[in-house]
Chain A
């Protein structure tokens, strides 16, 4: 028995030189996942590079699909196509207005859901969730049915700017509610109680404590709403009447050749969004560093005074 034990350890010792390769393979396996993640990241950027690359193309025919010749013409005149400019302006208008209204309405709903217990809470949650679980085509087509059916009525709205705006506010509300609610749940209620204890009335407490604390949530919700609105195609196509937003311009142009300017504007939107997010990230980082320095300094000072005492 003891002999068997001994030979087994001996065997293990002899096998020991084989250990580094297993360590090596473990490392390879570990790195494999990182490499895969890196490849996915690259893949995400493949179409984006095509879009930016082809914004510098001078296509041979109407279709900007094959590389012909380097040119900065489109960048020099991003709004060289007048109808494209109108479409971009309309998209921006709708995005701004729908973001403002949806953020306001959605934030109020989120506060009610996170702060109060009331009858009909389950139904409210269901009503918020359902639009997010509905394919856009169902949302768009049913809304169109409403607008067509009520077009003869005194309250009827003609298809066009207002119906697009109504639709965008509608699909944005749920996303705002969900985003803001997460933030309201996330913060320490005791901060508000402390303010109330210090004789702040509920309005002051809301303005000075609650609002600043949930502001990042509201900001994120607004950014999301803006992004969803400016990118929306399906719901807009159903409810636009004769109006043309930026995505609809692209769709219409796809058949007869998309002008290079579309790539330019697409690239600009991409660069502005990424630049904005980068700036936001850098500000957050420097703020975090400053806070860390400040608290480290406070600790040092406290230790120093303790030592002095």
Chain B
């Protein structure tokens, strides 16, 4: 019995972890090997791969597509910051002021994300189309003149511009920002705020010194859950963008599924993963919430 209790964890763990090992970690190894292969085409147009430790696949891929890499991280970064600014006040109001309407409001927040991701993106296409009310209204108040000057839009159009892609990414991943923020704000002991106000902190100071630091785990989780999928996204750039807004996901997707250039595609995909891991670990160091990754 003692032995059984001591080792009972392993039978529980095995099926799930084996699945992840075989279908997540092993494929990473396969992709790494693929990224170092060279492809030769024989006279019958069959492709043959040989492992030649072709590190130049990486340097070549990065040299050719560095602007798409930069663009992906830039778009994802802007979308994450925008999502944070939109989500934090809403999460704050639901956590601190909603009272008995809390659950209903949360439901309303999640509800839009139950419609399919692609339909939502296409709906933004309708909203941002050239003759739509949104576009005409934004043009009328001079907004598009400003964004045109900034290079976010062009020719007084919204569709097929960086603005449209970033706006849709921001919207599409908003739930991943709101929910973690709400959870961490919800957990804060309201008496701590009262205490800080009793000690003559004004509301702004109380927020900056008490509420915001205590909600950092939510900020960490929310920004990562938004930034990670946003960086790898290619659907928004594909449906709402132009050739000038292509992100690294668009390149990887077409190399894998259209052109079938597996070594280059694998090298790109692996590079994306590596940059992501480095960024996440730096970010975790800065925010000092490493327990998020381990608990």
Contact = CB atoms under 8 A, between A and B. Distances in A.
B25 interface: yes
A7 to B, nearest CB: 25
A74 interface: no
A44 B8 contact: no
Contacts of A113: 13
B120 A47 contact: yes
Nearest to A52: B115
Contacts of A273: 111, 114
Nearest to A41: B108
Given A41-B90, A108-B13, A234-B232, A254 B122 contact: yes
Interface SS majority for chain A? helix
B87 to A, nearest CB: 8
Contacts of B239: 254
B118 interface: yes
A138 B9 contact: no
Contact of B93 (A34, A43, A45, A46): A34
Contacts, number: 238
B20 A131 contact: yes
A51 B12 contact: no
Interface stretch (B55-63, B149-157, B193-201, B250-258): B250-258
Contact of B272 (A132, A138, A144, A177): A138
Interface SS majority for chain B? helix
A141 B225 CA distance: 20
B17 A109 contact: yes
A137 interface: yes
Interface string A22-57: 000000000001101100110111111011001000
Given A108-B16, A109-B17, A141-B269, A45 B112 contact: yes
A258 B109 CA distance: 27
A99 to B, nearest CB: 14
B293 A270 contact: no
A170 B9 contact: no
A158 B45 CA distance: 22
A97 to B, nearest CB: 14
Given A50-B127, A135-B229, A139-B24, A149 B30 contact: yes
A118 B15 contact: no
A148 B260 CA distance: 11
A281 B225 CA distance: 26
A109 B23 contact: no
Contact of B23 (A128, A166, A231): A166
A43 B171 CA distance: 9
B12 A247 contact: no
A66 B92 CA distance: 37
Given A108-B16, A141-B31, A129 B115 contact: no
Nearest to A129: B293
A170 B125 contact: no
> Which of A143, A174, A285 has the most C-beta atoms of chain B within 10 angstroms of its own C-beta?
A143
B103 interface: yes
A281 B104 contact: yes
Interface stretch (A9-17, A78-86, A119-127, A299-307): A119-127
A127 B18 CA distance: 11
B118 A108 contact: no
Interface stretch (A188-196, A210-218, A261-269): A261-269
A66 B129 contact: yes
A262 B119 CA distance: 8
Interface residues of B, number: 83
Contact of B124 (A47, A106, A281): A47
A254 B90 CA distance: 33
A71 interface: no
Contacts of B105: 41
Given A47-B127, A65-B129, A135-B232, A130 B114 contact: no
Contacts of A294: none
A170 B122 contact: no
B276 to A, nearest CB: 7
Contacts of B28: 142
Interface in B34-79: 34
A281 B125 contact: no
B89 interface: yes
A89 interface: no
A4 to B, nearest CB: 24
B253 A142 contact: no
A51 B257 contact: no
Interface in B129-155: 129, 131
B26 interface: yes
Contacts of B34: 145, 149
A40 B117 CA distance: 19
Nearest to A36: B89
Contacts of A36: 89-90
> Which of B13, B92, B97, B239 has the most C-beta atoms of chain A within 10 angstroms of its own C-beta?
B13
Interface of B: 7-10, 12-13, 15-17, 19-21, 23-28, 30-31, 34, 86-87, 89-90, 92-94, 97, 103-105, 107-112, 114-120, 122-127, 129, 131, 171, 174, 224-225, 228-229, 231-235, 239, 249, 252-253, 256-257, 262, 265-266, 269-270, 272-273, 276-277, 280, 293-295
Of all A-B residue pairs in the complex, the 3 with the closest CB atoms, nearest first, are: A135-B232, A116-B9, A273-B114
Interface of A: 33-34, 36-37, 40-41, 43-48, 50-51, 54, 65-66, 105-106, 108-109, 111-113, 115-116, 118, 122, 124-139, 141-146, 148-149, 166-167, 169-170, 173-174, 177, 227, 230-231, 233-234, 237-238, 246-247, 250-251, 254, 258, 262-263, 266-267, 269-270, 273-274, 277-278, 281, 284-285
